[in-house]
Structure 1
Amino acid sequence: MKKSFLALTLSVLALGIAVSCQKENKEGIKPLELSSGETANCYIVSAEGKYSFPAVKGNSTESPGQISTAEVLWESFGNKVQPNAGDLISNVRYEDGKIIFNASAKKGNAVIAAKDAAGTILWSWHIWMTDKPEEQVYNNNAGIMMDRNLGATSATPEDISSYGLMYQWGRKDPFRGADDLTTKWEWNSSVIATTAQWPEALVSNKTTGTVEYSIAHPMTFIMENSHNSDWFYTDDYVTENTRWQAEKTIYDPCPPGWRVPDGGPFGVWAKAFGSTKAYIDSDGGWDTGDSGVDLSKTDVTLATGKTVWYPHEGLIYSNSSKLSGVSMM
């Protein structure tokens, strides 16, 4: 019996046989940590896999509160294509002080929220699914910039995937950008498709125009009112100007290692131009369809020998919440 059994085993090993496959159980795989020693409100994911990050306020170690659950608020490919829930990220959960999720190989953007037992959003994080952005060294020691805007899944000029997302000054959470390069000066340009139904915009007041309200309602665009020209209701200009600043704050929307750049006469552009002007006095570099401008093709360059393309993404009007001015100068 022993010899027969051995002969049978060797025969099977030598044969060419058909093989079927079982779905791999990834729940037992240890998630890849995204924070790398530095927390943020946005994390870049460039490959399919299982990931985690500390459930803390971005750029800090501070807990947002008693977290009960974690869930996806919305997902988007950044264009007109309607995604299904789970196309980008799935199996989201809160466990041992971390947010854990599975990411697909697709490009796009998603936002994950942590909620308390009552369902109130305590904090939220942007998951930016793109290839790793390249660094561009700006002239005159002005600084190092990304080759794309936040939320863009490409750095290719004249491509809708290079447009990215929109933000209100001082808020960490993104809003939808344009889904088309050719909308021009439409008062209500179409926006990217997402998995969620977005709430109506609200006018700023003593309740809605606060940082606390904006954190608990990351998808609600807060419009200005007659009181001032800001979503932030209080006339505290010091607070208004320090929500995003040179020293990265807990409201900065950039991923680890990056921050919102300085602007104005002493900002990145002004330094790169070698002046106190944060705007261009130059022709050239404009795309045929006005979808953006390549500043490496003007006589006033930001970075020598590099394509420095800035898209014309338009803007969301603070008194209407309508997206307008896409691909328009």
Structure 2
Amino acid sequence: MTDMKHYFLLFILLLVIITIEGCTEELHPETNGTNSPVLNEGELTKAVLDLSVNTFAVEAQAETRASIPSNIPENETSEEKEVHNIWVFQYDAVTKELLIKPRYYTITDQIMLQDLPVYLKAGIPSFVYVVTNTGYDNWANDDTDTSWQKFKNVEQLKKQTLPTAFPLRSIDKVSIPMVGASEEVEVTTGVTVTVPVTRMYAKLKVKVEMLKAEMKLNNVNVRQIPNICRIETFAGDGNGEPMNAVPFPDGTTFSSIAFAASDLEKSEDKEWAVFYVPENLQGEIENQGGNKSDAAPTNALVVDVTAEIGGEKYLYAAYPGGNSLNNFNIQRNQVYRMTLTITGEKGQNNPSSNCFVVKPNGFLSFEPYYRVETGGGYNFADYLSPHDENLKIASVGIIWQTKDCIGDNTNGTLVQLGENTGDIHQKIYVRTQKKGNALIGAYNSKGDVLWSWHIWVTDHEPDNLGRAVTYYTYDWDNNGIYPEKPRIQGYAVMSCNLGALAENQKGLGTGLHRYPDEMTQAFGMLYQWGRKDPFPPLRNVVSEHHDYNDEHTDLHYDNSNQIEVHKTSGTDENKLFHSVIGSTLTGAVRHAIANPTVFITGTNDVNRNESYVQQKSNYFNNGDWCPIGESDNKLWGGLEPASEGMKAYTINQTNNVHIYDNYGTEKSIFDPCPTGWRVASGELWFEFTNTGLNPGSMSGINYDDKFSDGYGMNMYMQKWKDGPTSYFPTQGTRVGDGGGFRTNSCGNYHNATTDTDNRVNILHIHKDAGLFHIFEYQFYFYYVKSVAGPIRCVRDSK
């Protein structure tokens, strides 16, 4: 996590042997595929499968300086033994070739695991292999004549990888992949075939002890988790602990998973954050007495702990493994217990961002000059620098705030510029009061706004890694989108819209805002594409086009917390939130920075009742807020669409709509998300429908109806109609002329990438299949760059 602090490492590594009793329970199989003869199966015989789960263990290997295993017993959980589905393979004991087509069985009840009827070939000495909890019924057999051939012999099976390798948390649905094989058996009718299975994941337990009373735990995050898990361990036969690193195949990606501090309350043992992860064998290396972290391999699994100290967040990191000195192996079916003891000492300086999440009655300090983003090729020092008088901060203050969010800053004590350090580490200090949002600004000696920062005051911890949900989207290439294939691991998604004060419509009571409607508290800020500064959301529920003014929003106040700052869709400069016509500007990006509250229009007239051609003719420069010659597709870190060699798929030939692989690897200085987060990629939305394209009916949308009476949709993030969800409000937009539109019925989500012709790849959602658009090309006024829509941030690294 390069966006966080200096890694300060203090930990105690404990290893424990955990005994898990062998388990035999009954279940009912599926009967799919039993009448499809291949491989000269002939008539198959009904046998009984008896599964038992091998014990988790951590063994102290010779020459590893492993700590003494704990003698404190650890209770296993029933979830760690559960089997939800199995693949059954039968191999000839002599030739090691498949005797039958691989078969998939779904387990509906754990008590039926002991006597599972399966269909095997009789009369031939054979071995039966079982792989559990893959979650894909077409992994080893999709009813074609070729798919099973990747598993044709035992050695091929062992080299196969799971279709997906999801890390797990103990508080979620636990489904650990396992693998095992029977002894040699000659099948007869009703024979019992015993198969002991072993978990293919390791178990990692983390406890945090903080030595200062004022310290608060924020989250426990595990990263560098490989998104690959092979049937046979990468270490080979699994005998002994590998002393050298076992490299992953080229192209292996890595992900992370986290517990928020509040998540620990859900744990069976509230002291421990428990994770299940694929093995990561980085070997044992020479260490001449330094910290283990000083010698850590690049891909070694690492545990990060984020703590809050005096209003700032700091990161501490530790590396589990076979010992606390120099071993970085995370082996399957083994348990790693580690206690991290944090002293509370601070490390080096935190880089800044455009948004900060602060709790009510909280304190924030940040370094406005210190920025590390490189996406899009922009240099932050071109806009803010302590070494240039025109770009140097002379004063700071509140540009706007919801009532009492920060408070009366007339005397400059609530938003304060720190001592001049002469370098990039000068600080700004902010003290907050109540839930809400604010924008603070830095001014030069002439009184010009140099830069501004969104202060998001809330107590539901939206930036906490443990509250995020990692999305798993559909695979795709130049020829199509493939919902039937194993999903591709994406980024962790923030639990709410950027600037929202609740995660869903039931998150807060009434009375917080001018409109006492708890359903609108999940509404986030609105952003014109490519701009860093927010516009307050619409709250007064109006379906059609209307003015963006105080009647339809919260009331907002100035630096004194007393004087209202007003809004209009028009050009009245007496109102802080007014509009200016983008086609009249020169240097639109710098104008946007210097005027963070001014909406830059892309048209004088939004008329949704006009034809597509008529709508388009009303816009300047294809609806961009930048004038002709200044359009820029890289403002949020994306790459130019249709670049040479870029993966691309045409969604709609008639309207020239595409998806490009143009999500840049780096966040940009104009990205509005907090440190460690960035605006999402367009591929996130694929899995919201059954095809990855616009749905044909409501049944083709991947949502539940948890909030059927409200202003949003609860979307499944990883699987079809199953698994974790996240709430996406239909909060309305500011369209290209600056007006408000469709509060409570329309969600118009931005992402960081664009299509050709200045088209923004938005997610446009309604509780209406005809208006739920993964790719919007029906309504021109929704996908132009001048429209202001909500944002859902994702982690800036997997």
Fold similarity call, TM over 0.5: yes
- Matched residues in 1 for 2:691 and 2:667: separation? 25
Deviations 1:45-76 (A, max 9, x none): 12523321011275457334211000011112
Contact 2:405 2:437 in 1 (8 A): no
Counterpart for residue 532 of structure 2 = 172
SS at match of 1:160: helix
Counterpart for residue 192 of structure 1 = 554
Deviations 1:157-213 (A, max 9, x none): 352111011000000000010124x33335236012211422420101353661100
Counterpart for residue 312 of structure 1 = 730
Paired residue type of 1:46? K
Counterpart for residue 23 of structure 1 = none
Higher relative contact order (CA 8 A, sep 6+): 1
Paired residue type of 1:268? L
Counterpart for residue 624 of structure 2 = 230
**Greater alpha carbon shift after TM alignment, 164-173 vs 56-65:** 56-65
Deviations 1:259-306 (A, max 9, x none): 00011xxx2122676855377853464544451111239x945xx422
Counterpart for residue 742 of structure 2 = 325
- Matched residues in 2 for 1:288 and 1:49: separation? 35
Counterpart pick for 2:713 among 293, 296, 302 = 293
Superposed counterparts of 1:224-303, under 5 Å: 224-225=602-603, 226-228=619-621, 229-235=623-629, 239-245=632-638, 246=664, 247-263=666-682, 267-270=683-686, 276-277=692-693, 282-283=698-699, 285=704, 287-296=707-716, 300-301=720-721
- Matched residues in 2 for 1:34 and 1:214: separation? 30
Q: CA deviation at 1:84?
A: 7.8
- Matched residues in 1 for 2:633 and 2:430: separation? 34
Counterpart for residue 117 of structure 1 = 445
- Matched residues in 2 for 1:57 and 1:280: separation? 48
SS at match of 2:521: helix
Counterpart pick for 1:163 among 523, 529, 535 = 523
SS at match of 1:75: strand
Q: CA deviation at 1:233?
A: 1.2
- Matched residues in 2 for 1:185 and 1:194: separation? 23
Contact 1:59 1:248 in 2 (8 A): no
Q: CA deviation at 1:244?
A: 4.1
Instruction: State the percentage of identical aligned residues.
Output: 27
Counterpart pick for 1:94 among 401, 405, 417 = 417
Paired residue type of 1:48? N
Paired residue type of 2:678? R
Residue 214, structure 1, aligned to residue 630, structure 2? no
Contact 2:520 2:731 in 1 (8 A): no
Change (3 A) 1:213 1:274: same
If the length of structure 1 is used for normalisation, what is the TM-score?
A: 0.76
Structure number with higher strand proportion: 2
SS at match of 2:678: coil
Change (3 A) 1:187 1:58: farther
Counterpart for residue 469 of structure 2 = 136
- Matched residues in 1 for 2:584 and 2:686: separation? 36
Q: Alpha carbon RMSD of aligned pairs, Å?
A: 3.1
Contact 2:354 2:671 in 1 (8 A): yes
- Matched residues in 2 for 1:216 and 1:272: separation? 38
Counterpart for residue 183 of structure 1 = 542
Counterpart for residue 353 of structure 2 = 40
- Matched residues in 2 for 1:279 and 1:316: separation? 25
- Matched residues in 1 for 2:676 and 2:438: separation? 20
Counterpart for residue 26 of structure 1 = none
- Matched residues in 2 for 1:57 and 1:192: separation? 33
- Matched residues in 2 for 1:327 and 1:280: separation? 23
SS at match of 1:215: helix
Paired residue type of 1:94? L
Contact 1:73 1:111 in 2 (8 A): yes
Paired residue type of 1:100? Y
Deviations 1:102-150 (A, max 9, x none): 122x211111100001110000001111121220121231221011000
- Matched residues in 2 for 1:277 and 1:208: separation? 38
Change (3 A) 1:249 1:274: farther
Contact 1:296 1:308 in 2 (8 A): yes
Contact 2:437 2:454 in 1 (8 A): yes
Change (3 A) 1:85 1:254: closer
- Structure 2 unaligned runs (5+)? 1-308, 315-348, 374-379, 386-390, 421-425, 473-486, 507-518, 559-564, 566-575, 604-618, 639-663, 746-765, 767-798
- Matched residues in 2 for 1:300 and 1:236: separation? 42
Paired residue type of 1:73? I
Paired residue type of 1:107? K
Higher gyration radius (CA): 2
SS at match of 2:537: coil
Contact 1:34 1:52 in 2 (8 A): no
Change (3 A) 1:252 1:203: same
- Matched residues in 2 for 1:173 and 1:324: separation? 20
Change (3 A) 1:34 1:74: farther
Change (3 A) 1:171 1:242: closer
Q: How many equivalent residue pairs?
A: 286
Paired residue type of 2:311? L
